[in-house]
Chains A and B, each alone.
Chain A
Amino acid sequence: MNNKVPNNRAWLLVLPMLVLVAFSAIIPLMTVVNYSVQDVLGPNARFFTGTEWFESMLNDSALQAAFLRQISFSLIILAIQIPLGIGIALIMPKRGWQASAVLILITLPLLIPWNVVGSIWQIFTRGDIGLMGWGLRELGVDYNITRNAGDAWVTIVLMDVWHWTPLVAMLCYSGLRSIPEAYYQAARIDRASKWAVFRYIQLPKLTNVLVIAVLLRFMHSFMIYAEPFVLTGGGPGSATTFLSQSLTTMAVGQQDLGPSAAFSLIYFLVILLVSWVFYTTIMHMQKDKHPHGGA
């Protein structure tokens, strides 16, 4: 993996992929840029507006609120899922049929279509027919996600933890499996405590996969749409309206092309900035590991 050969003909191998991705990415993105600086009133009536839409979007208080909600949601689920995922990975069986069985069970939530995840939790939390909603009501808790914003938040966080912790757990599990048995033997000879083994052997080996986990979880939670849409519809009020939903309401529901395009670009730039930070981190880590190269 080190000493790669300089060879510009490699572009030929990349070309088919490039054409396809460009078709799905660049043309639509250019359309968005185009809309973001114009006011489209009809097929033949469009005016150049410059940065007007961008200014109005940045000053829109509803969007600012959605942005803050989005950030806090992403941070909350990261704070829960990452430690929980590590914990589960540590106690998963390493071999035998149990390992396969646990693996398949744990991966299950990842393979359910996102709107069905919303439906599952909608059914599960309803007061009249859902196990959780009914159970909490029997226990005397006043739980109602369509009326109480706090309940809606807790439920959405719970749903996301249920849905995505398996990804973190699986990433950590695969990281743990790559630790050579000799490391553990050395630790035993040194009579290292469980905590020391975790802190000095397992955690350093996990940093690589943890960065991937944080990156994937951050960006997926940042564009969450289908699950809260099905579960709460963004309500009560706008308590659980996240950025993607604000955007689709604006673009598809109200057909506000200019403002929604400007909003799209700002949204995308924020994600781009964060992923750039992660990307450079990953690349630096690879460089530390292989001083002579790395992707």
Chain B
Amino acid sequence: MSYQLENTQRGEKYTTIFSKVTPAQRRNRNARSRWRANCLLGLYLILMILPIYWLINMSLQTNSEILGSMTLWPQNLTFDNYIGIFTNSSWYMGYVNSMLYVAMNMLITICVALPAAYAFSRFTFIGDKHLFFWLLTNLMAPPAVFLLPYFQLYYSVGLFDTHIAVALAHCLFNIPLAIWILEGFMSSVPKEIDETAYIDGYSFPRFFVKIFIPMIRSGIGVTLFFLFMFSWVELLLARTLTATNAQPIGMIMTRTSTASGIDWGTLAAAGVLTIIPGILVVYFVRNHIAKGFALGRT
């Protein structure tokens, strides 16, 4: 009889007396299946990176090289496309505008979402379930539905073409999302902590700021990551609510296509620059992100 231990990821620690397979053999088999998994993962990652690599590749070429011949890497490395963007204020202001409204949105959202999420995680109140469902429906609302009314609403209150208009508009889906994630994180903090703090004489605001918020630090970090992500990638609303002063970079990029053709090099360079903030943000939250993706509910 052969007692084979399949699925022994770290099997050597749990050798049973029945096992006829030597630890060395088992390690060998583990190594082989691990190697196969790594190959598959590597293949996926390469396929995933390829389109991005192509974008970077093109951003480092001149337009004549892009259109002239098929080159798998830049033959005459040039940074002119990037220099062009960084020296033209109408280009780099697009990035400033996008960053500004994303930051404003993150600040507004987290300020109102923290108390609301606390209320949902700790109390029941009249209409709480309906309210929560209504919030979720806003998360599902297609921006296209709100396009025209938004334009008219913000125009009539004089906020059209300001950063705050886009920040407020993005609250539509970011506040529900933030509450959803934060509620999950807050619910995993035992209620006894709140009660102990009140017995110790903490008032609610002091308890909330001094004790509770530090306890869900990682949850807040992950929430901010998601808020950044969804506000940074959205274009439809941002484009509709702005004209010249607060125009997002995504809109300015359409300027590369003119009557004389498309300025591929600049388009690619601008695209690469929109990816960089995302990489920075994900680097900062990399250790908490796995829990955050389950919206705090694992």
Contacts and interface: CB of A to CB of B under 8 A. Distances in A.
A111 B275 contact: yes
B289 to A, nearest CB: 6
B131 to A, nearest CB: 7
Interface residues of B, number: 110
Contacts of A107: 282, 289
A271 B54 contact: no
Contacts of A105: 45, 48-49
B113 A174 contact: no
Contacts of A87: 40
Task: Name A's interface SS.
Answer: helix
A175 interface: yes
Interface in A171-218: 171, 173-175, 177-178, 184-185, 187-189, 191-194, 197, 208-209, 212
B205 to A, nearest CB: 11
Given A6-B124, A112-B275, A279 B149 contact: no
A292 B213 CA distance: 27
B289 A103 contact: yes
B122 to A, nearest CB: 6
A175 B293 CA distance: 9
B145 A264 contact: yes
B172 A226 contact: no
Given A112-B275, A116-B274, A16 B115 contact: yes
Interface in A1-38: 1, 3-11, 13-14, 16-18, 20-21, 23-25, 27-29, 31-32
A83 to B, nearest CB: 13
A91 B39 CA distance: 10
Contact of A100 (B143, B240, B287): B287
Interface in A232-290: 243-245, 247-248, 251-252, 257, 260-261, 264-265, 267-268, 271-272, 275-276, 279
Q: Which 8 A-B pairs have CB atoms at the shortest separation, nearest pair first?
A: A111-B278, A28-B149, A178-B298, A223-B142, A31-B149, A10-B123, A13-B119, A10-B119
Given A188-B5, A261-B148, A272-B140, 13 more contacts: A10-B119, A16-B116, A17-B116, A25-B146, A112-B274, A113-B274, A129-B67, A129-B264, A175-B294, A191-B3, A191-B5, A208-B298, A295-B187
Interface of B: 3-9, 11, 14, 16, 37-38, 40-41, 44-45, 48-52, 54-55, 58, 66-67, 70, 72, 108, 111-113, 115-116, 118-126, 128-129, 131-133, 135-150, 152-153, 168-169, 171-172, 175-176, 179, 183, 187-188, 191, 229, 232-236, 240, 249-250, 253, 264, 267-268, 271, 274-275, 277-279, 281-283, 286-287, 289-295, 297-298
15 contacts: A7-B125, A16-B116, A20-B112, A32-B149, A87-B40, A91-B37, A91-B40, A100-B287, A114-B234, A124-B51, A170-B293, A174-B290, A208-B297, A243-B144, A251-B147
